[in-house]
Structure 1
Amino acid sequence: MKFKAVLFDLDGTLVNSLIDIADSINKVLSEQNFPTHSYEVINDFIGSGLRNLVTKALPESCKDEISINTTFESMVTVYRDNCIHKTAAYDGIIELLEELKSRNIKLAILSNKADELTKKIGLSLFPDYFEIVMGLKSEATKKPNPAAAIQISADLGCLPEEVLYVGDSGIDMQTAKNANMYAVGVLWGYRPKEELLAEGAQTIINHPLELLELL
């Protein structure tokens, strides 16, 4: 099978966004007199969208719907202003995108981050590479639901099996499997190799340019 497109996750795959996410949620928690968290702890909260991150970050006694909604709204406001402050592409990503573009491989982003924020980060840091940049539009379509991935492949003019799906988490590997795409796990992101393999990674790569070997 000749691959015609690459669909990338965003956080932990294309960009290291941990510091901006952590600083934003800790600012929100601090303003509400809640305990804050280390970067290492918040690293484990990332991957299932900001609402899920907020829920995990709140104290156990404050996980009611009103507290979650209020904190989530504050998080979106703070993070919107800080989401490209310290966030940057991982080493080798720009070189990879340049090479893929030169080979006429179609490129897209799919993230569980809110659509507005995904577009802000994706289009700010990578203005010249992606035909589609899509984030979470509703909880019902959150990855590993494959609906958005399948829609992106159709919009790119590809069959799902013609798409490499590249991500750093078990959720990404599940999404690729559910969408009938080829699952590539990356080791420079937020999750360990064991999780990627357990959730269906078909190839594991240690550096972005290793992806070219699959083409």
Structure 2
Amino acid sequence: MSGLKLALFDLDGTLVDSRALIAESMDEAFRVNGLPGCSYDQVRQIVGIELFEAIPMLLPEDYPPEGAVKVANTFREIFVRNRADGTHTEGLYPGARDLLDRLDRDGWLLGVTTGKPRRGLNHVLDTHDLHGLFVTLNTSCTGPGKPNPRMVLEAMNETGAEAHQTIVIGDSSHDIQMARNAKVRAAGVAWGFHTAEELDAAGAHSVHEDFACLERGLAAFGEMAA
């Protein structure tokens, strides 16, 4: 379908600043289960990957699978507790809402591709009143997560957008690899979990230092897609 422009956004580290919430909840989950603490640098490498796939990447190779499941469930409980009691929040990055509103007014189709479970996605949408902006919502709950291209391909199928009309925006190498695997444009943002250098190395077509830079990049992509 001609004239479409589809922007698929990651959540954690891209639209919402959940760095402290995720890292400190993971560290506590490890300690509760008798493991050494888990550093921010360790945690940031797996954010975006589906939780039960990600946890074993942080554990010793010989750690029992049932133990990994227990750590993952402990993390979920601590994460929800820390979010609920205000220990840390999932605030929108300054400039995120303004950009989404402008893209919506300019006729973009907006979507989410996230490693969060659907419950976590709904919490973010409810908290920040974002439901009306996104026409397609994709999580790892219903199939393979990042870097598998499934979420992007399902979003394209749902909206009718073609590959040359679709761009993925994310802060991790997993987002970039997912986009490249789906053969769509990959835009990295350098304010989240991975550095600009890591995003470049993963194959990002562009890397943006702030939302103003990202907006210019999306405008250029939109003209090219049209």
Pairwise TM-score range, normalised by the shorter structure: 0.7 to 0.9
User: Per-residue displacement from partner, 1:16-66 (whole Å, max 9, x unpaired)?
Assistant: 1111112322332232232223434433342323224433444x2872101
SS across alignment from 1:145: coil
* Equivalent residues of 2:50, 2:146 under 8 A apart: no
TM score, norm. by length of structure 1: 0.87
1:118 pairs with 2:121: yes
Q: Structure 2 counterpart of 1:131, which letter?
A: V
**1:131 pairs with 2:132:** no
Moved more, 169-178 or 83-92: 83-92
Moved over 3 A (4+): 38-41, 80-85
Gaps (5+ residues) in structure 1?
Answer: none
Residues 4, 158 of structure 1: 8 Å contact kept = yes
Label 1:38 to 1:178 Cα distance change in 2 as closer, same or farther (>3 A): closer
Choose 102-111 or 30-39, whichever is displaced more: 30-39
Q: Which residue of 2 aligns with 1:90?
A: 93
Is 1:105 aligned with 2:108?
A: yes
| Compared CA separation, residues 61 and 193, structure 1 to 2 (3 A) | closer
State the distance in 2 between where 1:12 and 1:32 align. Answer: 26
User: 1:84-136 deviations in whole A, cap 9, x for unaligned?
Assistant: 74111112111111111111211111112223222322443333322222221
> 118, 137, 145: which one pairs with 2:148?
145
Question: How many equivalent residue pairs?
Answer: 213
Cα gap change, 1:74 to 1:196, in 2 (>3 Å): same
Root-mean-square deviation over aligned CA pairs: 2.3
Q: 1-side partners of 2:201 and 2:31: how far apart? A: 36
Instruction: Say which SS state the counterpart of residue 33 (structure 1) adopts.
Output: coil
Q: Which has the larger displacement, 110-119 or 66-75?
A: 110-119
Q: Which amino acid in the other structure matches residue 119 of structure 1?
A: N
Q: Which residue of 2 aligns with 1:188?
A: 191
Whole-angstrom CA distance in 2 between matches of 1:152 and 1:105: 14
The superposition leaves residues 132-172 of structure 1 with CA deviations (integer Å, 9 ceiling, x where unpaired) of 2222115x511111122111122122112211110112211
Match in the other structure for 2:158: 155
Residue 4 (structure 1) shift: 0.9
1:51-90 paired onto structure 2 within 5 Å? 51-58=52-59, 60=60, 63-83=63-83, 85-90=88-93
Aligned counterpart, 2:45:
44
Structure 2 spans left out of the alignment, 5+ residues: 220-226
Secondary structure of residue in 2 paired with 1:141: coil
Paired with 2:160 and 2:27, the residues of 1 have a C-alpha distance of 42
Q: Distance in 2 between matches of 1:43 and 1:103?
A: 33
Measured in 1, the distance between the counterparts of 2:165 and 2:126 equals 24
